[in-house]
Structure 1
Amino acid sequence: MAAEVTTVRIDKYLWAIRAFKTRTDAADACKLGRITINGGEAKASRDVKIGDLIGVKKMPVIYTFKVLALIANRQPAKNVYLYAENMTPEEELEKLKMARTTLFAYRDKGAGRPTKKERRDIDDLMENYYWGGEDLDE
């Protein structure tokens, strides 16, 4: 029988509930200030408690999770709901749909790699999107 988990670091918890693919990614997000617990910035070593609200900034969306139970081991996707409740507002999730439809050009599945010209066009589109079309050299 496994011992009951009493404390879990935020980076380990986010990895366990599959918010990040690796624990290193979760720790890096904490270091960059993209993780909050109950509204305050969180270092990777901060412990989570049941009932905490965790904010995860993964551009363009800010996800919100409520801690339902502590877990230290990575869980299958079908079990995550036992440990964390996804409380992300619908308007945040709409940003994902909007980004897919407005920013990226549609490419047929299996169309292969983009040509050199298509790659330059994509790079120009991305640069204008992130920098608002401003010329940074001036």
Structure 2
Amino acid sequence: MRLDKYLKISRLVKRRTLAKEIADKGRIDINGRTAKSSTDVQVGDQITIHYGDKTVAVEVLQVLENVKKDAAADLYKNLD
């Protein structure tokens, strides 16, 4: 699954277009490497998002196409 879509479905980022902008500016790393919005996300990947002075680090637990709002937090585990 594409990075921008995963961030939207997991609700780590509110909108897919915002996720695309953040990734294209080089503010998202997957497994320590800068990722573009089209980068493929797989189970076990570690995603780090840099929002200004805030950093969010998560590990991908599941990759699902459709997720209900209540189950979105089950897709990842916080590493902070």
1:42-82 deviation digits (Å, cap 9, x = unpaired)? 01111011000000111221100100010233541x31232
Residue 67 (structure 1) aligned to one of 41, 49, 60: 60
Q: CA RMSD in A?
A: 1.2
Q: TM-score, normalised by structure 1?
A: 0.55
Tell me how many residue pairs correspond in the alignment.
80
Choose between structure 1 and 2: higher strand proportion.
2
Consecutive unaligned residues of structure 2, counting only runs of 5 or more, are none
Report the residue type matching 2:75 in the other structure: Y
Q: Which runs of 5+ in 1 are unaligned?
A: 1-7, 89-138
How do residues 21-36 of structure 1 correspond to structure 2 at under 5 angstroms?
A: 21-36=14-29
Residue 79 in 1 paired to residue 63 in 2?
no
Larger Rg: 1
CA change 1:24–1:39 in 2 (3 A) is same
* Change beyond 3 A, Cα 1:75–1:65: farther
Moved over 3 A (4+): none
The question of whether the paired residues in 2 share the 8 Å contact of 1:18 and 1:74 is answered with no
> Could you tell me which of 45, 48, 57 is aligned with 1:55?
48
**Structure with the bigger percentage of helix:** 1
Give the TM-score normalised by the residue count of structure 2.
0.91
Q: Highest relative contact order (Cα 8 Å, sep 6+), 1 or 2?
A: 2
* Helix, strand or coil at the partner of 2:47: strand
